[in-house]
């Protein structure tokens, strides 16, 4: 890990609650995706985590950026696939 990555991870670990929160969010999002009935909710839950992973790699660890980019594209595809479910949220 680079110095910037170490500093970032040290900050997350120092907050004590953030890493367990991220892991619980990932677990809940994964379970909701597996239960196909709640997939649109799962996409909303997991998107901030996916975006943060992408931005982390974009700025601190670009070596794995292609793999993470594909993960973000899949998440955006799911947003597009479930767009009809999200329209009531943003419409008047």
Residue 63 lies in a domain: yes
Q: Which pLDDT score is estimated for 31?
A: 92
For the stretch 38-73, pLDDT in tens is: 889 999 999 999 999 999 999 987 888 899 999 999
Alpha-helix residue ranges (DSSP H) falling in the chain: 3-14, 18-34, 39-59, 65-81, 83-90
How much is the pTM?
0.82
Residue 92 in this model has a pLDDT that exceeds 80? no
> Using 50, 70 and 90 to split pLDDT, how confident is the model at 25?
very high
Measure the CA–CA gap between 60 and 68, rounded to whole angstroms: 13
pLDDT average, residue stretch 17-46: 90
Residue 45 lies in a domain: yes
Residue 92 lies in a domain: no
Q: Which pLDDT score is estimated for 50?
A: 93
What is the number of structural domains in the chain? Answer: 1
> Using 50, 70 and 90 to split pLDDT, how confident is the model at 74?
very high
In the block, residue with structure tokens 């670990």 = 13
Residue 74 lies in a domain: yes
- Domain enclosing residue 49, as ranges: 3-84
């Amino acid at each position: 890990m680079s110095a910037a990555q170490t500093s970032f991870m040290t900050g997350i670990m120092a907050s004590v609650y953030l890493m367990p929160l991220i892991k619980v969010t990932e677990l809940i999002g994964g379970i909701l995706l597996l239960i196909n009935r709640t997939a649109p909710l799962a996409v909303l839950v997991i998107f901030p985590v996916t975006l943060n992973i992408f931005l982390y790699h974009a700025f601190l660890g670009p070596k794995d950026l292609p793999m993470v980019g594909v993960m973000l594209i899949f998440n955006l595809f799911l947003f597009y696939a479930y767009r009809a479910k999200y329209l009531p949220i943003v419409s008047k």
